[in-house]
């Protein structure tokens, strides 16, 4: 057990999927895993372990924002031996060619600041995805003919952003979308030499204001989970 994870030794798999929402963790576990069992509910952050095509998998909520995912990624790696961590979450599109329901695979991440910035001090560290996971996820998405984009994303440390000028510059420089966790996940994974990837579903569009209706989210998020699982074991 750790401060934030109540699982016993051996109850966390080496492959962990990390949705922000703990209830999405429950939905994904019940939908995609065989014999999922609850292994954590400390502070309401649900985690489930089961199997997918015979492979042990944990699906664990990570909360909202980089400080939250930093806590869970550190503890999952340091105390439970997680080797592969894949964020599955939503994002807001920044480019006209990226549409609602599309998948974005975060090749690299930009951020104004994260919990790891104090370690890097004056250096602008460039957190990137594990290439093997990235390539496998792209192959999985291509095989299912799912519209998918690979490139840079922006991990924001605020949800209600007051910087429209920053969004303009991110768009100008080809950033595909905005989300809130990947930069810190990639940095923590790099620190421990573990594999990490963010597979993101576009749920809304910053430029057009379009948003994915709530009754269509589960189907679109299902594609994301399948891609993540296939990438982890492909």
Q: Clarify whether 204 is annotated catalytic.
A: yes
203 labelled ligand-binding: yes
- Residue 27 burial class via C-beta count within 10 angstroms: exposed 0-12, middle 13-18, buried 19 and up: middle
Q: What's the rounded Cα separation, in Å, for the pair 67 and 16?
A: 18
Helices 214-233 and 131-143 cross at an angle (nearest 10°) of 120
204 labelled ligand-binding: yes
20 labelled ligand-binding: yes
194 labelled ligand-binding: no
Q: What's the rounded Cα separation, in Å, for the pair 220 and 203?
A: 9
Measured CA to CA in angstroms, residue 162 lies from 17, 110, 165, 172, 177 at distances of 31, 17, 9, 18, 17
179 labelled ligand-binding: yes
Q: Report the candidate in 180, 131, 182, 183 with the shortest Cα–Cα distance to residue 159.
A: 180
Catalytic one of 21, 204, 215, 223: 204
102 labelled ligand-binding: no
43 labelled ligand-binding: yes
Q: What's the rounded Cα separation, in Å, for the pair 39 and 55?
A: 17
| Beta-carbon-side half-sphere exposure of residue 201 (alpha carbons within 13 Å) | 24
26 labelled ligand-binding: no
86 labelled ligand-binding: no
122 labelled ligand-binding: no
181 labelled ligand-binding: yes
Residues placed in the known binding site: 4, 20, 24, 43, 87-90, 179-181, 203-204
Residues placed in the known binding site for phosphate: 20, 24, 43, 87-90
Catalytic residues: 204
Residues placed in the known binding site for a purine D-ribonucleoside: 4, 179-181, 203-204
């Amino acid at each position: 057990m750790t401060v934030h994870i109540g699982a016993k030794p051996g109850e966390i798999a080496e492959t962990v999927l990390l949705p922000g929402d703990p209830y999405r963790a429950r939905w994904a576990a019940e939908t995609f895993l065989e014999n999922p069992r609850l292994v954590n509910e400390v502070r309401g952050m649900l985690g489930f372990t089961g199997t997918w095509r015979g492979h042990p998998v944990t699906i664990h909520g990570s909360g909202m924002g980089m400080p939250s995912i930093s806590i869970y990624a550190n503890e999952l790696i340091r105390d439970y031996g997680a080797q592969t961590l894949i964020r599955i979450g939503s994002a807001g599109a920044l480019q006209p060619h990226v549409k609602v329901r599309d998948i974005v695979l975060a090749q690299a991440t930009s951020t104004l600041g994260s919990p790891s910035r104090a370690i890097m001090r004056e250096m602008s560290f460039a957190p990137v995805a594990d290439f093997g996971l990235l390539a496998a996820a792209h192959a999985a998405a291509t095989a299912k003919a799912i519209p998918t984009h690979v490139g840079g994303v922006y991990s924001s440390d605020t949800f209600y952003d007051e910087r429209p000028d920053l969004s303009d510059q991110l768009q100008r420089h080809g950033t595909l979308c905005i989300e809130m966790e990947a930069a810190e996940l990639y940095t923590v994974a790099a620190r421990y030499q573990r594999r990490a990837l963010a597979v993101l579903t576009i749920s809304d569009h910053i430029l057009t204001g379009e948003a994915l209706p709530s009754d269509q989210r589960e189907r679109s998020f299902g594609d994301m989970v399948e891609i993540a699982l296939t990438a982890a074991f492909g």
